[in-house]
Amino acid sequence: MIDQVGIHERAEFFAKRSIKKQSKLGALYTCVSMCDLTTLEGSDTVGKVQQLCQKAIRPAPPTMLSQYFNGNKIEPLPSVAAVCVYPTMVPVAVKALKGTDIKIASVATAFPSGQAPFEIKSQDTKFAINHGANEIDMVINRGAFLSGKYSVVFDEIKEISKICAGKAHLKVILETGEIGSYDKIRLASEIAMEAGADFIKTSTGKMQPAATVPVTLVMLQAISDFYDKTGKKIGMKPAGGIRSAKEAIQYLVMVNETLGEQWLSSELFRFGASSLLNDLLRQIFKEISGSYYYEKSFSLD
């Protein structure tokens, strides 16, 4: 059970951590490496996805950074963790990301509403995996969840996780903005983890409220308890609504103090965000160069 006042208070506590200098720079780099760069629009085209993939590989031109290091060999900016697209765009991303360690995530199961017959959800997932997706972001059946049919929700996740087994990581989107209370978010997290999720994810990004710090904290605590019980590490992905580097660092602090350092890697923590990346870049360049770059210094995609 979750106490709302308590969870909000704890969430605010993380914002008070003062992350400066080297800790800040390290955190910013880490955040870049945790981004799932996303485009999920009806208007997505091959061209759009290709460009997004280029940005995923090299978030900013390497020379922009290297000028501050006086010719020394430097560790370049990391690439992001994954690119997240619709199933039909998976082949495009596979081609564009060939030879990199960037993962290809595909939303599936009738994203974002999940309102389709199960056969179609299953087909959707198989299509994405067969075309090379190595991460599946599925949505839970909120209609079933809100009407109390938890076993339907569980069974659907279980079936999809069987399809993914051995081929793709499964991220389960709870769409926390639709499921009402912190107690329900906690319940949905437990159902997803028991049913075989590798990651649990807050939102589709298609509605507000999306990811918030307290919602993420509730889910992190569920992950922590699941780990204590089973020894299995489940990943976490807040998605939608995280725009500033400052917020992203607050999330890292929260993960650090709730689950520990083991979770501070893209294997177990991701940001589902598109506009966050540029603010991370701005802050990184500010830390390194001493002054803010004009925001147009960084490409839109």
Partner 1 sequence: MQAGTQNKKLKTSSKNVAGRGVESTSYQNRFVKGIPFKFDYEASVESTEVVKIKSQNELFIGGKFVKPQSGKYFKTLNPATENVLAEVAEANSTDVDLAVLAARKAFATWSKLSGHERGRYLFKIARIIQERAREVAILESLDNGKPIKETRDVDTPLAAAHFFYHAGWADKLEYVVPGRSVAPLGVVGQIIPWNFPLLMAAWKIAPALACGNTVVLKPAETTPLTALLLAEIIQQAELPEGVVNIVTGAGETGANLVDHPDVNKIAFTGSTDIGRRIQKAIAGTQKRLTLELGGKSAHIIFEDAAIDQAIEGVINGIYFNQGHVCCAGSRLLLEESISELFVKKLKKRMQKIRIGNPLDKNTDIGAINSAGELQKIQNLVGVGKTEGGEFFEPNLTLPSKGYFHKPCFFNGVSSAATLSRVEVFGPVLTIATFRTPEEAVLKANDTPYGLAAGLWSEKGSKIHKVASRLRAGVIWANTYNKFDPTSPFGGYYESGFGREGGRHGLLGYLEVK
> Choosing from 121, 124, 201, 279, which is the catalytic residue?
201
| Cβ closest to partner 1, residue 211 vs residue 259 | 259
Q: Which stretch binds partner 1 (CB under 8 A): 87-95, 131-139, 257-265, 273-281?
A: 257-265
Q: Establish if 21 lies at the interface with partner 1 (CB under 8 A).
A: yes
Listed in sequence order, the DSSP H helices in 86-181 are 90-96, 118-130, 142-146, 150-164
Q: Supply the minimum distance, in Å, between the C-beta of residue 283 and partner 1.
A: 13
Residue 78, CA atoms < 13 Å, CB-side half-sphere = 21
Residue 124 annotated to the active site: no
Q: Which stretch binds partner 1 (CB under 8 A): 15-23, 110-118, 162-170, 234-242?
A: 15-23
Backbone angles phi, psi at 86, to 5 degrees: -75, 160
Residue 103 annotated to the active site: no
What is d(CA 38, CA 22) in angstroms, rounded to the nearest whole number? 29
Q: Establish if 155 lies at the interface with partner 1 (CB under 8 A).
A: no
Residue 201 annotated to the active site: yes
- Residue list 170-229, contact with partner 1 (CB under 8 A): 221, 228
Cα angle 88, 93, 95 (rounded to 5 degrees) comes to 115
- Whether the Cβ atoms of residue 217 and residue 185 lie closer than 8 Å to each other: no
Taken in order 129, 131, 135, 139, the sign of the CA dihedral is negative
- Residue list 228-247, contact with partner 1 (CB under 8 A): 228
Q: Supply the minimum distance, in Å, between the C-beta of residue 154 and partner 1.
A: 23
Q: Which residue of 50, 51, 78, 184 would you call a contact of partner 1, by CB under 8 A?
A: 78
Q: Establish if 292 lies at the interface with partner 1 (CB under 8 A).
A: no
Distance in Å from the first CA to the final CA of the chain? 41
| Cβ closest to partner 1, residue 68 vs residue 180 | 68
Q: Establish if 261 lies at the interface with partner 1 (CB under 8 A).
A: yes
Cis status of the peptide bond prior to 61, with omega within 30 of 0: no
- Whether the Cβ atoms of residue 77 and residue 123 lie closer than 8 Å to each other: no
Q: Which residue of 45, 46, 62, 68 would you call a contact of partner 1, by CB under 8 A?
A: 68
Q: Establish if 288 lies at the interface with partner 1 (CB under 8 A).
A: yes
Listed in sequence order, the DSSP H helices in 147-181 are 150-164
**Rg of the Cα atoms in the chain:** 19
Q: Which residues bind partner 1 (CB under 8 A)?
A: 1-3, 5-7, 9-10, 16-27, 29-30, 33, 68-70, 72-75, 78-79, 101, 221, 228, 252-253, 256-257, 261-267, 287-291
Catalytic residues: 137, 201, 237
